[in-house]
Chains A and B, each alone.
Chain A
Amino acid sequence: AQSVTQLDSQVPVFEEAPVELRCNYSSSVSVYLFWYVQYPNQGLQLLLKYLSGSTLVESINGFEAEFNKSQTSFHLRKPSVHISDTAEYFCAVTTGNEKLTFGTGTRLTIIP
């Protein structure tokens, strides 16, 4: 069975500072990894995904995540955050044969 752990439930960061949201997964087979973002009062939106190939994946709004197989991690990073990045971020994993398993979410709060 697969599982996902998001170690930080809340992360406060000053505006224009860098941020890293941590995600670790557990699976005995190859995985596909995702980050979703949920803005206040909205549904979840796909931010970026790792399916295969380059281990570094990027989103259109400056976020990136790196798949690290040896550390079973898929941490999300942004070099400089903006107020508009305030949201809850969910990491998710699937082996392709099972439904997506979501983490418990990390609430990112940007401090002006």
Chain B
Amino acid sequence: DSGVTQTPKHLITATGQRVTLRCSPRSGDLSVYWYQQSLDQGLQFLIQYYNGEERAKGNILERFSAQQFPDLHSELNLSSLELGDSALYFCASSVGRGRYGYTFGSGTRLTVV
């Protein structure tokens, strides 16, 4: 157990739907990062939050949004889902800016049918 908790582990939904992925960072970590991993795109950085504020944005689609709450857990919202959104979504956390590395959760596997 890495200390980073992601729920749910698996999610199957239909095209056009909206889902929410949840992440609880490791105790004491203030930064949360979201990544998408697919066979054709590899590991893609989506977005970073630090203590509730958006810190960096990567290849995140406009249909996707995220937030970090006062208790530091984070949610990634994916809407108007398309078949191509099927992927593994990882959350990671770090104490500060990540100079000591990130701790990853086990991921949420999203399948859009």
Contact = CB atoms under 8 A, between A and B. Distances in A.
Interface of A: 32, 34, 36, 42-46, 49, 51, 90, 92, 94, 96-100, 102, 104-105
Nearest to A96: B99
Interface residues of B, number: 21
A23 B92 CA distance: 22
B107 interface: yes
B108 to A, nearest CB: 10
B100 A44 contact: no
A102 B99 contact: no
Contact of B107 (A43, A99, A104): A43
B99 A45 contact: no
B89 to A, nearest CB: 11
Q: Which of B43, B48, B97, B106 has the most CB of A within 10 A?
A: B43
B66 to A, nearest CB: 14
A106 to B, nearest CB: 11
B42 A104 contact: yes
B56 interface: yes
B43 A42 contact: no
B45 to A, nearest CB: 7
Given A99-B48, A99-B56, A45 B43 contact: no
A15 B105 CA distance: 30
6 contacts: A45-B104, A46-B103, A94-B98, A100-B98, A100-B101, A105-B42
